[in-house]
Amino acid sequence: MADRAFSATRLPGFATIAIGAFVLLYLPIITLVTYSFNATNSISEWGGFSWQWYIKAWDNDAVKAATANSLIIAVSAAAIATAVATAAALGTTRRKAYRGQTFIYVVINQPLMVPEIVTAVALLIVFGVVKEWSGYQGLGYLILAHAAFCTPFAYLPIRARLEGMDLSLETAASDLYASPWQTFRHVTLPLLAPGIMAGAMLAFVISLDDVVITEFVKSGGQDTLSTYMLGQLRRAFTPEVNAISTALLAATVLLLIAFFLLTRKRD
């Protein structure tokens, strides 16, 4: 009788380890969500169900300002990162292999390989010089910093989409005397749209969630939701932070579901 193919699921203790890993991953999240509905301000004792912390977060002007900053930065950074990533993906896939292509790929994905704190310190130094020279203190620095960090996250799904696309339609368009721009606009771009949307959503989520780079680059009064929550945790922890975290979690999950639906393979 032929030996069955190796499968990790048949190893002794696999189920126990898998269940334990899921418990460690999701039990803290479930606890956070549960206590965001706690009627009291205790983070360890249940006092009944209540929406009060969501209402307080909704009525908090600081939370509203931080949310506005987060959305402005995330939308702008995602747009810039997606545009750069699309151009980079086209330049590294839609042409013959050339010398230095691997090096360019490494440079594009550098923020993924270097510790985020290193990127944050480097941006702090560069933007510090620019601030002193220009006197500008606006959100532009945060937008550029987030765009630089999010570009590889947008690049990966766009590149993957391009590598999975058949070149025959683009070749046919060229044979029918379409210019490179017409081929891109009417053939490549519609086929690439799901990958672009997936990359934009992933970049948006990464920007919305970022703390380290934001904390280093931001000026006074430029808190995002993430840095606002960090500041609150340093002062006094209340279930209001749980409510904000749960809202962010819900938004992230919805975007990731949309990302999955856009990138899954269809028969």
Residue type, 261: L
User: What pLDDT, on a 0 to 100 scale, did the predictor assign at position 78?
Assistant: 94
DSSP assignment of 53-81, as one string?
Answer: HHHHHHH-HHHHHHHHHHHHHHHHHHHHH
Highest mean pLDDT among 49-63, 78-92, 108-122, 242-256: 78-92
Phi-psi region at 30: left, alpha or beta (left = phi > 0; alpha = psi -120 to 50): alpha
3-class DSSP assignment, residue 39: coil
Distance separating alpha carbons of residues 215 and 40, to the nearest angstrom: 31
DSSP label of 10: G
User: What pLDDT, on a 0 to 100 scale, did the predictor assign at position 265?
Assistant: 55
User: What pLDDT, on a 0 to 100 scale, did the predictor assign at position 263?
Assistant: 64
DSSP label of 49: B
Mean pLDDT of 190-201: 87
Whether 266 has a pLDDT exceeding 70, the answer reads no
Percent of the chain with pLDDT over 90: 15
For CA atoms 257, 58, 203, 183, give the dihedral sign.
positive
User: What pLDDT, on a 0 to 100 scale, did the predictor assign at position 4?
Assistant: 66
Distance separating alpha carbons of residues 47 and 32, to the nearest angstrom: 15
Task: Please name which of 111, 92, 112, 110 lies closest in space to residue 102, comparing C-alpha atoms.
Answer: 92
Which token pair is 136? Answer: 């500008």
The predicted-structure confidence for 166-175, as pLDDT tens digits, reads as follows: 777 777 877 7
Mean pLDDT of 72-101: 86
Q: Do 136 and 66 form a contact (C-beta atoms < 8 A)?
A: no
3-class DSSP assignment, residue 223: coil
Whether 81 has a pLDDT exceeding 90, the answer reads yes
The predicted-structure confidence for 129-177, as pLDDT tens digits, reads as follows: 998 888 888 888 999 999 999 999 999 889 888 887 777 777 787 777 7
**End-to-end CA distance of the chain, in Å?**
35
Whether 253 has a pLDDT exceeding 60, the answer reads yes
Task: Please name which of 207, 236, 217 lies closest in space to residue 147, comparing C-alpha atoms.
Answer: 207
What pTM was computed for the model? 0.81
The predicted-structure confidence for 17-61, as pLDDT tens digits, reads as follows: 888 888 888 888 888 888 888 888 777 778 788 888 888 888 888
DSSP label of 184: I
User: What pLDDT, on a 0 to 100 scale, did the predictor assign at position 146?
Assistant: 93
Q: Give φ, ψ of 236 to 5 degrees.
A: -155, 130
User: What pLDDT, on a 0 to 100 scale, did the predictor assign at position 267?
Assistant: 40
Hey, what domains does the chain have and what are their CATH numbers? 61-226+256-263 (1.10.3720.10)
Q: What is the average pLDDT score of the chain?
A: 83
DSSP assignment of 119-156, as one string?
Answer: HHHHHHHHHHHHHHHH---STHHHHHHHHHHHHHHHHH
User: What pLDDT, on a 0 to 100 scale, did the predictor assign at position 1?
Assistant: 45
Q: Give φ, ψ of 220 to 5 degrees.
A: -60, 135
Distance separating alpha carbons of residues 246 and 3, to the nearest angstrom: 48
**Exposed/middle/buried for residue 13 (C-beta within 10 Å: 0-12, 13-18, 19+):** exposed
Distance separating alpha carbons of residues 81 and 65, to the nearest angstrom: 24
**Span of 79-93, 140-154, 168-182, 214-228 with lowest mean pLDDT:** 168-182
